[in-house]
């Protein structure tokens, strides 16, 4: 059977009532008749004697109309019953046949509904738990890989440093030994130089003596020879000297192991590695264990979800003003009736519902959803100029929380599911959404679809739905772009024919997506279901509005800020 993932394919279809000549929005479904019904037609349907016992449910809980499959034995009848014993489709006439006597039969629609619900539940498990948990574990392995590389880089640096230290010592010892060799050589050469001088002096003495004896030999010196006294002319003996004793070099005795022992070694601990912890499905949320009060609130919300539905009309509840701004492009609701509003000139104001000014600061914000209130009551806002996300605590202290590097943070939202901070950012022609945890650690970057195409152009408003979907109002892409928590693109809503310029966006307790848009002739607020199907217009141009900022309060009313006034109007749209 066709699975629920096909819903986004028809996400922009206008759901109309199936009653003839009725063009109102479809909100209900009759399972036996397989008819789409508006609220009024539902009432008539349930009052009619023929259909008063029919099962009429909210549209999202309807059974699907199965394709017609003719019975093989009775071709004029539809095979709409399943024999549990034989596991084959039958018609009503087949159930009376002898071979099926005593067998149990089930309506094919019930089986389809059961299997359809099973598939939705399995899809939900995969999207809500298995896929995110697996991706978290993959992220953990990536972080472990970076940590291992960091450790090994440290070990390599230690080895190099130790080797350099040893090399420096070797160089020092080598230098000292060379100096010793030079000193020995100098000493030996000095002795040999002295011996050389001794022999130079002796040679001069011999040459002088030789010259003297030659002088006696000519006949003209005969008288001199007779008178010469040779008794004192004995030749002096040759001086004795010693041969130098050169040093002997004894080579050092060392091996590779000897050198290796001088340096440190790498040890791999003989420890059994710990298994990675897999978060159990029941506690897959990153929230702290809820308190009794929070559990009561959750039960109340769950009970409310069972009873609430989309009203056929929108009712104005009240108005309030935000002082010191000339328009209201974004609203962030806080605790105790306190709220924040901003205009396109960077004025960010905190006020109460009576219009009393509590705090005003000047920011670099523009006509974007650049501030958000956390569950703790703090306010985060983006400083686009300095590329920083700042925090204002309840005691009005302003601190820097996250630096976004080269990216300009233009929109921000604090998750009501787990307290994560979602930030829409741009850099040149690139755009992305980054998820941070409560401490400012980056957890996720969403930038491209599975085909490598950019998901966003200018994500100037951002919110999160109850199922974890990240919903972006992208004015440059002229679309509401929705991505699930596993970074998979679910759908993009681009309006219904006219130029779609989305601004403020928010979601409610039932998973509705509320978005306001504006162009030259149309200024509207519309509502989609969480699968992107258009449900109805909440506000129309006939009401004379120029909507920009949107939010939903704890009483399930939506607040609308406008571009031409500092008055915020509150409307009731659920019943």
Q: Are residues 507 and 416 in the same domain?
A: yes
Residue 511 near residue 480 (C-beta atoms within 8 A): no
How far is 216 from 225, CA to CA, in rounded Å? 5
Residue 380 near residue 391 (C-beta atoms within 8 A): yes
User: Which CA distances in Å does 255 have to 122, 164, 258?
Assistant: 65, 19, 5
> Residue 306's pLDDT is what?
55
Residue 8 near residue 481 (C-beta atoms within 8 A): no
State CA 395 to chain mean position distance.
Answer: 30
Domain assignment of residue 374, yes or no = yes
Domain assignment of residue 21, yes or no = no
Instruction: Name the domain count of the chain.
Output: 2
> Residue 222's pLDDT is what?
66
How far is 226 from 223, CA to CA, in rounded Å? 5
Q: Which of 262, 278, 302 is the last residue of a domain?
A: 262
Q: Which of 239, 262, 285 is the last residue of a domain?
A: 262
Which of 176, 240, 232, 239 shows the shortest CA–CA distance to 209? 232
- Within 8 A by CB and 6+ apart from 363, the residues are 342, 346, 347, 348, 370, 381, 383
> Residue 10's pLDDT is what?
37
What tokens does 372 get?
A: 């958000």
**DSSP symbol at 76:** T
How far is 326 from 313, CA to CA, in rounded Å? 30
Q: What is the CATH number of the domain that holds 457?
A: 2.120.10.30
Domain assignment of residue 48, yes or no = no
Return the HEC string of 128-188. HHHHHHHHHHHHHHHHHHHHHHHHHHHHHHHHHHHHHHHHHHHHHHHHHHHHHHHHHHHHH
How far is 96 from 159, CA to CA, in rounded Å? 87
> Residue 267's pLDDT is what?
83
Q: Are residues 190 and 331 in the same domain?
A: no
Question: How many residues in the chain?
Answer: 575
> Residue 284's pLDDT is what?
35
Q: Within the chain, which residues score under 50 in pLDDT?
A: 1-13, 283-294, 296
How far is 364 from 386, CA to CA, in rounded Å? 9
Q: Which of 230, 245, 262 is the last residue of a domain?
A: 262
Q: What domain range includes position 237?
A: 149-262
Q: Are residues 315 and 173 in the same domain?
A: no
Residue 565 near residue 552 (C-beta atoms within 8 A): no
Domain assignment of residue 128, yes or no = no
Q: Are residues 316 and 169 in the same domain?
A: no
Q: Are residues 249 and 319 in the same domain?
A: no
pLDDT tens readout for residues 247-265: 998 888 888 888 888 888 8
Buried b or exposed e, range 366-380, using 16+ CB within 10 angstroms? bbbbbbbbbeeebbb
For strands 338-342 and 347-352, give the pairing: antiparallel
Q: Are residues 253 and 316 in the same domain?
A: no
Domain assignment of residue 523, yes or no = yes
Q: Are residues 318 and 257 in the same domain?
A: no
Provide the sign of the torsion angle of the four alpha carbons 525, 530, 531, 535, taken in this order.
Answer: negative
Q: Are residues 321 and 188 in the same domain?
A: no
Q: Are residues 207 and 331 in the same domain?
A: no
Domain assignment of residue 515, yes or no = yes
Domain assignment of residue 192, yes or no = yes
Q: Are residues 191 and 334 in the same domain?
A: no
Q: Concatenate the DSSP letters of all residues of 88-113 into one string.
A: EEE-TTGGGSGGGTT--EEEHHHHHH
Element (H or E) spanning 256, and its range? helix 256-262
Residue 332 near residue 559 (C-beta atoms within 8 A): no
The number of beta carbons lying within 10 Å of the beta carbon of residue 252 is 7
**DSSP symbol at 223:** H
Buried b or exposed e, range 137-174, using 16+ CB within 10 angstroms? eeeeeeeeeeeeeeeeeeeeeeeeeeeeeeeeeeeeee
What tokens does 333 get?
A: 């609701």
Beta bridge partners of 381: 371, 390
> Residue 71's pLDDT is what?
86
Q: Are residues 492 and 426 in the same domain?
A: yes
Q: Are residues 488 and 359 in the same domain?
A: yes
pLDDT tens readout for residues 431-466: 999 999 988 999 999 999 888 899 999 999 999 999
Domain assignment of residue 37, yes or no = no
Maximum separation of any 2 CA atoms in the chain, in Å:
181
């Amino acid at each position: 059977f066709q699975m629920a993932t096909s819903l986004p394919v028809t996400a922009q279809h206008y759901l109309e009532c199936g009653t003839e000549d009725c063009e109102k929005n479809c909100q209900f479904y009759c399972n036996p008749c397989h008819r789409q019904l508006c609220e009024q037609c539902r009432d008539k349907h349930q009052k009619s004697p023929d259909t008063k016992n029919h099962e009429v449910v909210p549209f999202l809980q309807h059974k699907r109309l199965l394709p017609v499959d003719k019975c093989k034995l009775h071709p004029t009848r539809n095979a709409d019953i399943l024999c549990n014993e034989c596991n084959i489709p039958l018609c009503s006439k087949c159930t009376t046949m002898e071979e099926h006597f005593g067998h149990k039969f089930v309506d094919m629609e019930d089986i389809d509904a059961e299997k359809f619900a099973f598939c939705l539940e399995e899809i939900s498990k995969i999207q809500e738990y298995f896929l995110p948990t697996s991706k978290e574990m993959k992220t953990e392995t990536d972080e472990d890989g970076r940590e291992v590389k960091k450790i090994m880089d440290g070990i390599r640096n230690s080895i190099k440093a130790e080797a350099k230290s040893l090399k420096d010592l070797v160089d020092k010892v080598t230098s000292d030994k060379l100096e010793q060799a030079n000193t020995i050589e100098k000493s030996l050469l000095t002795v040999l130089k002295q011996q050389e001088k001794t022999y130079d002096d002796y040679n001069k003495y011999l040459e002088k003596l030789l010259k003297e004896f030659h002088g006696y030999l000519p006949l003209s010196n005969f008288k001199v020879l007779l008178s010469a006294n040779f008794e004192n002319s004995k030749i002096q003996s040759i001086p004795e000297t010693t041969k130098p004793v050169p040093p002997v070099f004894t080579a050092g005795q060392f091996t590779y192991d000897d050198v290796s022992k001088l340096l440190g070694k790498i040890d791999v601990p003989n420890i059994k590695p710990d298994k990675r912890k897999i978060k159990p499905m029941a506690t897959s949320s990153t929230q702290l264990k809820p308190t009794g009060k929070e559990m009561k609130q959750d039960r109340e919300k769950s009970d409310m979800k069972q009873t609430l539905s989309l009203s056929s009309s929108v009712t104005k509840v009240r108005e309030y003003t935000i002082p010191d701004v000339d328009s209201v492009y974004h609203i962030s609701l806080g605790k105790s009736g306190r709220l924040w509003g901003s205009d396109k000139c960077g004025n960010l104001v905190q006020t109460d519902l009576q219009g009393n000014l509590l705090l005003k600061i000047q920011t670099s914000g523009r006509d974007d959803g650049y501030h958000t209130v956390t569950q703790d009551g703090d306010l985060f806002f983006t400083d686009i100029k300095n590329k920083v996300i700042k925090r204002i605590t309840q005691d009005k202290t302003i601190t820097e929380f996250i630096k976004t590097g080269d990216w300009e943070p233009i929109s921000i939202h604090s998750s009501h599911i787990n307290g994560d901070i979602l930030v829409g950012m741009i850099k040149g022609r690139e755009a992305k959404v980054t998820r941070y945890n409560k401490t400012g650690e980056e957890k996720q970057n969403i930038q491209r679809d599975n085909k490598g195409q950019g998901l966003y152009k200018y994500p100037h408003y951002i919110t999160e739905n109850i199922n974890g979907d990240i919903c972006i109002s992208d004015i440059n892409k002229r679309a509401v772009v929705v991505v699930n928590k596993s970074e998979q693109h679910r759908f993009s809503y681009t309006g219904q024919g006219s130029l779609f310029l989305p601004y403020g966006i928010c979601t409610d307790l039932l998973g509705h997506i509320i978005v306001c848009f504006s162009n030259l002739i149309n200024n509207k607020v519309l509502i989609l279901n969480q699968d992107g199907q258009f449900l109805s217009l909440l506000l129309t141009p006939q009401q004379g509005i120029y909507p920009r900022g949107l939010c939903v309060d704890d009483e399930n009313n939506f607040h609308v800020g406008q571009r031409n006034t500092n008055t915020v109007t509150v409307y009731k749209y659920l019943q």
